[in-house]
Amino acid sequence: MGKVSKGVKCTVTGCANDAVRSISSEEVSKAGLKVSSSGRAYLCKNHYREMKKKLKKDREVERWRLMR
Ligand SMILES: [Zn+2]
């Protein structure tokens, strides 16, 4: 995870916002977001938040599965 230089756009398909975070595209696709590039993905504020939320939910589901 790292900072993003100015002018870089969010790599989520259909999004044209400025990116605020770079993250591995693996993580992003794990969260169910579509990215157009492989390797590094860049996320805008909105998609970064969305990704965090989804990854957290997945982890909670996993924990719930382990408990049963
Ligand atoms: Zn975006």
Per-residue pLDDT tens digits for 19-42: 999 999 888 888 899 887 678 899
Give residues whose Cβ lies within 5 Å of ion ligand 1.
10, 12, 15, 17, 44, 47
Distance from the alpha carbon of residue 39 to the mean position of ligand 1, in angstroms: 17
**How many structural domains are present in the chain?**
1
Distance from the alpha carbon of residue 1 to the mean position of ligand 1, in angstroms: 16
Q: What pTM was estimated for this model as a whole?
A: 0.76
Rg (CA), the chain: 13
For residue 60, the SS3 value is helix
At 35, list the tokens: 């990215």
Residue 44's pLDDT is what?
95
The domain in which residue 25 lies consists of: 1-68
Distance from the alpha carbon of residue 65 to the mean position of ligand 1, in angstroms: 31
For residues 21 and 43, is the Cβ–Cβ distance under 8 A?
Answer: yes
Distance from the alpha carbon of residue 11 to the mean position of ligand 1, in angstroms: 7
